[in-house]
Amino acid sequence: HSTAGGCNNFTTWRKNPWYTISCPQGGNTMVYITMFNPNQRGVVADINYHQIGFTIVKCAAGTISPASLSHDHQVVAKTTFWNKREVSLKVTLPPSGTPFILVPSTFFPQQLSSFHLRLRSAKPVRFQKVDAHYYTVDEVGEWKGKSAGGYQQLEANPQFTLTLTTDCTVHIFLEQLSGHGLPLASPA
């Protein structure tokens, strides 16, 4: 599975790598964050960087799993997405009992790229990658002809069976693809 989910305009945004930022000391914490692509000057003749950026979100307590983040998550700060080598942001994080989530991404989904993150702060901060322990299953269907039943003819729509072997929480996301196989931009 690709972790190139695109920005939070796309439902695939949850597929991006996630990092937590925790500010253990009381009071506001000023953090300088830089995301940059590896230097390609002198290596690649025609350098064309993807539009990169990152979003910082505040989640409810116990919501540090990409799958469990609701569509109405609170965006604390975000960069503009530029097709440059690096983007930076200075953000003041308020005291919080739960970590903030930093999600680096390209603007569009499925744009593969490596990146580096650098955080600087006058106060100690904890920064770590979220090890997402969840399973993802992707199924593709389409509403076409007789399978375009709509709500009035629900039984004509594509149907899928989900079988669970243990008690667990399941999150189901439905995304509509464009004619090019890319997700349409929508609230994530």
pLDDT, one tens digit for every residue, the chain (188 residues) = 578 889 988 878 888 899 999 887 778 999 999 999 887 766 666 777 889 999 999 877 666 666 556 555 788 999 999 988 899 999 999 887 788 999 999 999 999 888 999 999 988 899 999 876 556 677 777 777 777 777 777 778 888 888 888 887 776 767 676 665 555 655 54
Q: What is the predicted pLDDT for the residue at 114?
A: 87
pLDDT value of residue 24 = 76
Within a domain: 139:
no
Domain that holds residue 60: 11-129
> How confident is the model at residue 184, as a pLDDT?
60
pLDDT at 74: 82
Q: What is the pLDDT of residue 136?
A: 67
Dist. CA 182–CA 129, nearest whole Å? 27
Specify the pLDDT at position 72: 58
Q: Is residue 146 part of a domain?
A: no
**105 within some domain:** yes
Q: Is the residue at 78 inside a domain? A: yes
Asked if residue 147 is part of any domain, the answer here is no
User: Quick one: pLDDT at residue 106?
Assistant: 93
Domain with residue 21: its CATH number is: 2.60.120.380
Query: Per the structure, how many domains does the chain have?
Result: 1
Whether 138 maps to a domain, the answer reads no
Domain assignment present for residue 168? The answer is no
The answer as to whether 109 is a domain residue is yes
Q: What is the pTM of this model?
A: 0.71
